[in-house]
Amino acid sequence: MRSGGSRAIRIAAIVAAVLLALLVLAQFVLPRIAASRISSRVGRYGHVEHVSVSAWPAIELLWGDADSVEVTTGSLALAPGQAAALLREGRGAERIDVRADAVKVGPLALTDAVLRKRGSQLTAHAHASQAAVRGALGPGVGVRLVSSEGGRVRVAATGSLFGVGATVAAVAESEDGKLVVHPEGLFLEGFRLTLFRDAHVHVIGVAARQDASGYVLGMTALLG
C-alpha cells in the first residue's frame, strides 16, 4: 500500500511539474505568437515598427483576451471598414495603444495618429493638414471650423457638399452610433451624409481644433 501511494505521489508531482513547465513556456511563447499575428494583420495596410502583447496568465490569449497591446507603425492606408474590422479583433484586450506616424483612412490623410482603448471605450486623435482636408473633400468644396463642443463640430461648408452652391452651416456629430454631417437650416435639416458607420463601433462624439497648419481631430466611441 505504501509503495502504491508513493508511486501515485510521484506521478502527481511529475504531472504538476509538466503543467507548470507548460504554463511557464506559454507565458513566454504565446505573447510573441500573438504579437506576430497582430503585426501580420496590421502589416497588410502598411509598415509596422513594433508590437507588444502582455497577458497574465498568457493562456488567456488562446481565447482572444489580453491585458494590453501596444502597436507602433510608420504609415498605413486603409478603408474605414478595414479600420473597424481591426478594432473588432481587439475587443478582448483590456488596454490598447496604437500610434501611427501617418495613416490614410479612406480619402483623408492624417499624421501623428493615436488610438487608445480602455475597456470598451475608444479615443482617437490625429492631425490633418489643410491640404489633406481639401484633398479629402474634393475640388470646389471647402470647410472652415466654427466651433467644437459637446461632442459636436460645427463648420461653414462652401461648394456643392450638400448640393447647394453657397456657404452652409453644418454639424458633424454622432447619430444612433454613426458619424454623420448635416447642414443647419430650416430647409436643409433633412440632408444627412454618413461619414462612418459600423455595427460594433458606436460613435459617441467628435472634436476638432485648429492649429497653425491644419486641424487636430478627435473621436470617442464604444466598441461592442
What confidence tens digit (pLDDT) does each residue in 174-192 have? 999 999 988 886 555 667 8
Contact 39, 49 (CB under 8 A): no
Residue 163's pLDDT is what? 56
Residue 116's pLDDT is what? 98
- Cβ partners under 8 Å of residue 97, min gap 6: 68, 69, 70, 71, 114, 115, 116, 117
Contact 93, 65 (CB under 8 A): yes
- Which regions of the chain are under pLDDT 70? 1-5, 17-26, 160-165, 185-190
The predicted-structure confidence for 132-190, as pLDDT tens digits, reads as follows 998 988 887 888 999 999 999 999 988 765 555 677 888 999 999 999 988 886 555 66
Determine if the peptide bond prior to 139 is cis (ω within 30°): no
User: How far apart, in Å, do the first and last CA atoms of the chain sit?
Assistant: 58
Residue 26's pLDDT is what? 64
> What's the whole-model pTM score?
0.83
Distances (CA, A) of 177 to 153, 159, 192, 194, 207: 16, 28, 14, 11, 15
Calculate the average pLDDT of the chain. 87
Q: What ranges in the chain are assigned the alpha helix state H?
A: 2-42, 80-89, 130-137
